[in-house]
Amino acid sequence: MTFTPHGKHLVSGDWVSGDGTFRSEPATGPAHTFAVGTVALVDRACRAAEDAFWTYGYSTRQERADFLNAIADEIEARGAAITEIGTQETGLPAARLEGERGRTTGQLRLFASHILKGEYLDRRTDEALPDRQPLPRPELRMVQRPIGPVAVFGASNFPLAFSTAGGDTAAALAAGCPVVVKGHSAHPGTGEIVAEAIDAARQKCGLHPGVFSLIQGGKRDVGTALVQHPLIKAVGFTGSLAGGRALFDLCAQRPEPIPFFGELGSVNPMFLLPQALAARGEAIGKGWAGSLTMGAGQFCTNPGIAVVPNGPDGDRFVASARTALEEVGPQVMLTDGIASAYHQGRQRFAGRNAVEALILNDEEGRTVRPNLFETSADQYLQDHGLGEEVFGPLGLVVRIDNDDEMVTLARGFEGQLTATIHMDGGDAALAQRLMPVLERKAGRVLFNGFPTGVEVADAMVHGGPYPASTNFGATSVGTLSIRRFLRPVCFQNMPAELVEGDLGAS
């Protein structure tokens, strides 16, 4: 099945074009023309979303679960066409796109199952105590309720799982919030076909057309208009620190400030403890190289830094990682812009006197190869720039002299999505010293593994202290992500005839 994009926006059930257009820049295959988003289209989509909220926000959990399952069905029905356009636009291999599609539909189905259980509503009831002294207590009922229309910005590195029907959209729809998506210009055709799937599911379920809209392309004014539209009540974003921080500030500057749930970036440090390093340092080095270069390093959980003790065991780890990285062939990055930023990051590291280049590739263009650098803990702590994410297959080894220096270095890291401890039984005492530090630094702490690959599950946390994300109390992956788009409401002395739906006991 070949899919040829028509290049239009989806706004409240209508496919609409506009005066301006832009051309996609695929890694392979034909380029296509797409309409450019406008402030007027943003306003139309947001008003339709608000209108839809008065029915969708008060729909039953079964109705919303049916919608989520129908979206998954429609995406799967377009599976081959999604893979074709997705591989052309991003350069990602078909197997990666197919796996990501499965993750996307699995997430939708998981959220459908989760909301049917009702536990996410966190319903609480305090019985009335009319005879309590010195004052009686009224009956109190608390339940989580949807907040209203949500804006979602598609991510460049996940054209499916973090974009049009990705985690933010699925979570908002599960909560009962209509969604307006600002599609990413790196994969507009993929966004369009997924939007078709969502709209087909909406029609099948008989829902208000304003429950979902997709606006493609557009300059900065389109994104600004979306986050500052008075009818938008929250924003979901996955992208760069600079772009996310700019949108976060716009949300805070509104007359009515709203939450901005931004996942912005992370270097995801790994700490190699001495006993594990001695026992299996070479294997860990090889595994690190594989994780570092997976998907050309274009994962927000890419483990960009390895903290390694000095000495022969550390040398063997570095040699193993270096050999494995040198065997990795050229990889295509998602966009020209991402590739350019990667090359700039490589040059930034290569130009530092206190950093040794272990692998330095000087390629240009959209095809890249790994780069590997090494520095000391002292130098890392003195140079803030060494802790800035380079999006791509670039690794930094930070060498330490002793356990105390490892703990000090851990305290010097900024907020992270993940932190990893490689340990054996004899490393338990040092691991216990690191634990209080790392749980303050990261949303997910791993042991003896690699952070690339984020399981979609009840217990998953994909977030962390700033700058990893803008809201350390939230996650953008897993069922807990639904809670971002809910708020608690208390009902006092509610008459029995009004206690129904989510306010009931079931």
- Residue 341 to residue 390: CA distance in whole angstroms: 8
- Provide the token pair at 26: 């695929």
Q: Residue 10 contacts by C-beta under 8 Å, 6 or more apart in sequence?
A: 16, 192, 195, 196, 199, 212, 213, 214
Residue 46 bears catalytic tag: no
Point out the catalytic residue in the list 50, 74, 84, 263: 263
Q: Is the peptide bond before 467 cis (omega within 30 degrees of 0)?
A: yes
Taking CA atoms, 249 is separated from 100, 258, 427, in Å, by 31, 10, 43
Sequence length of the chain is 506
241, exposed or middle or buried, with CB in 10 Å at 0-12, 13-18, 19+?
A: middle
State how far the alpha carbon of 454 is from the alpha carbons of 53, 181, 190, 264, 301, in Å.
31, 23, 22, 16, 8
Structure-token match 């040398």, residue found: 315
Distance CA 12, CA 15 (A): 8
Give the number of other Cβ atoms within 10 Å of residue 252's Cβ.
12
Q: Residue 310 burial by CB count (10 A; 0-12/13-18/19+): exposed, middle or buried?
A: middle
Written as one letter, the residue type at 332 is V
Given 46, 177, 251, 300, the catalytic residue? 300
DSSP-assigned letters across all residues of 174-222: HHT--EEEE--TTSHHHHHHHHHHHHHHHHHHT--GGGEEEE----HHH
Give the SS3 label for residue 300: coil
φ, ψ at 155 (rounded to 5°): -95, 150
SS3 content of the chain, % helix, strand, coil (to 5): 45, 20, 35
The distance from CA 115 to its chain's CA centroid, rounded to whole angstroms, is 21
Can you tell me which residue has the tokens 């799982």? 161
Q: Which single residue is written with the structure tokens 């709209």?
A: 199
Paired tokens of 269: 């440090």
Residue 251 annotated among the catalytic residues of the structure:
no
Q: Which of 325, 323, 289 is nearest to 450 (CA)?
A: 289
CB 202 within 8 A of CB 67: yes
Rounded Cα distance between 98 and 34, Å, is 25
As annotated, the active-site residues are 263, 300
